[in-house]
Structure 1
Amino acid sequence: MRTLPQALRAAAAAQEGLVSKAQCDAAGINKDAVALLIRQGRWSRVTRGVYDTDPEPAQRRLRDGYHDHLRRRAAWLGMLAVPDGIATGACALALLGIGGLPADLVPEAARPGGMYAAVGVGIVLRRYRFFADQPYRGRRVAALVPALAQALPTLSRHEAVAVLSDALREGHLDGAGLQRVREQVRGRRGAAQVLCLLDLGEVRDGSTAETHARLSFVDHGVPPDGQQVTFVAGGVVLARVDFVWALPDGRYVVVEIDGRAFHSGEAMLADDAARQNGLVATDRLIVLRFPAARALAGSVPSVGAEMAERLTRLGWVPGTHLGPTVALDNTGPRRRT
């Protein structure tokens, strides 16, 4: 078989390269044709009743959005492997475009009404009986609030807070939605730990790396005095920075989380240089930069430990609250009493 039917090719394109046995049957591709495609190396069998039409192994598909592709692929694998499968938990969040998730997701799905089904190796069948869902490319996925309630107990602390922060920053979740998540988490396994994390979500976190860095600062006793702060001098905006600590002598320590681990290009490099030059041109600012990979949880030593040591040497004390804009023409930060 030289070419696949258009309907099956369209399905594969929409499903991160995956197709199900049922879709093959509907397109007139019987089991013998599937077996031939697999022998030829054009397809591979991922789990029972699900095939990958991309001959390149998933872990070698280096491309823009590589990790998002792998997350969505895991979600589609769960939906296609489960009869009438509805994507749930972290898989549903991946399809809904929520960031902060781990790179490797376990494929999971539920059936309507929590019905049972035998599933292939590596697939998790959730027995959730009732939860709100919504359409997604001809299938169904858990709606945002129940998906968060399902996913958060399965994630690490840093992952859970990064997911919440992304949902808040991108406008997918508001205060009322967060309260509904709280209500739906109660009674689940691991609910006590999750409920303690819900208030750690931060709309000002600009990325997953920034969330991990912020938690590291908090855990090491040096919570930032300001976040996403714009510095102005002489009426001219110098830059907006990720994290700021105000020192008693009127100077500021600025930390930037460098995102070039995930985004690159001459335009960004030029912009970074201009911002850096504007910040260090004044003697009021101490600028530190950490690459995104260095800020993520698991780095040794952590960015929090390093900042705690630096700030102690510089004489920083907690208690200052910085607003969204700091004018360097002023004598110094205002300290709360």
Structure 2
Amino acid sequence: MRHPETIHAQFWTLAACQEGLVSIAQCAAAGISKHAVLRLVRSGAWARITRGVYDTNPVSVRDRACDDYHGHVRRRAAWIGLLAYPDGAATGGCALALLGVGGLPSELAPEVSRPARMDAGLRPGTVLRRYGTFPVVQCHGRDVATLVHALAQGLLTLPRDHAVAAICDALRQDRICAADLGRIRGLIRGRRGVVAVRPWLELVPGRDAPPAETFTRLSLIDHGVPPDGQQIVFRSGDKFLGRVDFAWMLADGRYVVVEIDGREFHSGDEMLADDAKRQNGLVATDRVIVLRFPAPRDSSDGDIGSQVADRLHHLGWVPGAHIGPAVHLDG
């Protein structure tokens, strides 16, 4: 039996690139026999994920401690699919995870498209897609759908919130441009489910920053209170008071603003102190009402839209106003 400590270092380097996963073919190439793999699984050193795919990390996925835990879980799902199907290409959410796009669900189903027969050797726990041919990029020697194609595939397969957030995140990172939205629209044309998801593209051109802001904006839209402005700078005279995530203008000249908190986006004592100073400066003007919410995981998390809608209706807010990029409270 090949004990883990006797396996060549290059094998562990390969496993690390694949989120700790290896295929039976890679084991054989490293001189680890099927019987040795079976004994490693029986001893608890490795775990069998699906046919021909093994996890070399003995720690349960939910108990793993790593800085990018959710990213690890998503990329791990992508590698399960790629290792299960040597001729497959990562698609949809799995491709986006490998490409470093944010806004994805915390968990993904292993998903690939392959040129071989769809029903040939289906691996339990994986999803095969029928996409025909599409351009790919390489990720550690494996095929991954290019970004625009992956976003189009994700639009058809991901929940609305995450599909929209992924596209917004790619725009925020300047990895796609507005013209690419037209390409995405063309790629989904004629696909199953396109009628339902096509309107989601109209939800994309927001000026969102992190995905949590996309989820918040969708919740606000769903509850009938789309923001009058987003990423608005507030000033008093020559003094900068702060930039807020969302804002609404009231008939009496006051403003309601919503700020999204969360350690993923505002971390450390220095940032928290800066947030408090900014809020105090806004509130001190007596013209700004500040509402703060934890960063949501999707549009329903935290019931943000409902709470903001109740507050705005109570304050007599009327839809239709537009707030420019900057507000001067002394004007």
Q: After superposition, what is the alpha-carbon deviation per residue over 1:2-57, rounded to whole angstroms, capped at 9, x for unaligned?
A: 33212210111100000111111111111121122112211111111111011101
Partner of 2:172: 169
Matched residue, 2:27: 24
- Indicate the SS of the match to 1:260: coil
Q: Quote the Cα distance in structure 2 between the aligned partners of 1:184 and 1:113.
A: 22
Contact 2:219 2:300 in 1 (8 A): no
Q: Is the 8 A contact 1:204 1:228 kept in 2?
A: yes
Instruction: Report the Cα distance in structure 2 between the residues aligned to 1:88 and 1:60, rounded to whole angstroms.
Output: 27
Give the deviation of 1:262 after TM superposition.
6.7
User: Which aligned pairs between 1:127-138 and structure 2 lie closer than 5 A?
Assistant: 127-138=130-141
Question: In structure 1, how many angstroms separate the alpha carbons of the residues matched to 2:47 and 2:266?
Answer: 32
Deviation at 1:115, TM superposition (A): 6.3
Partner of 2:287: 284
Find out whether 1:71 has 2:97 as its counterpart.
no
Amino acid at match of 1:202: P
Count of residue correspondences: 328
Matched residue of 2:87: which SS? coil
Give the secondary structure class of the aligned counterpart of 1:254.
strand
For the 8 Å contact 1:114–1:130, the answer to whether it is kept is no
Unaligned runs of 5+ in 1: 331-337
- Structure 2 gaps of 5+ residues are none
Equivalent AA in structure 2 for residue 12 of structure 1 = A
Partners of 2:17 and 2:41 in 1: CA distance: 21
Work out whether 1:296 is the aligned partner of 2:298: yes
Distance (whole Å) between structure 1 residues aligned to residue 300 and residue 247 of structure 2: 23
1:66 & 1:280 partners in 2: Cα distance? 37
CA spacing shift, 1:247–1:203, aligned 2, 3 Å:
closer
The more displaced of 230-239 and 32-41 is 32-41
Equivalent residue runs for 1:6-85 within 5 Å: 6-85=9-88
Q: Would you say 1:117 and 2:120 are equivalent positions?
A: yes
Change (3 A) 1:222 1:158: same
Measured after TM superposition, the shift of residue 210 of structure 1 is 1.4
CA distance in 1, matches of 2:136, 2:117: 13
Which range is displaced more, 195-204 or 90-99? 195-204
Q: What is the letter of the counterpart of residue 297 of structure 1?
A: S
Counterpart for residue 321 of structure 2:
320
Shift of 1:329: 1.6
Partners of 1:150 and 1:299 lie apart in 2 by 25
**1:265 — aligned with what?**
268
TM-score normalised per structure 1? 0.92
For the Cα contact (< 8 Å) 1:107–1:122, is it kept in 2?
Answer: yes
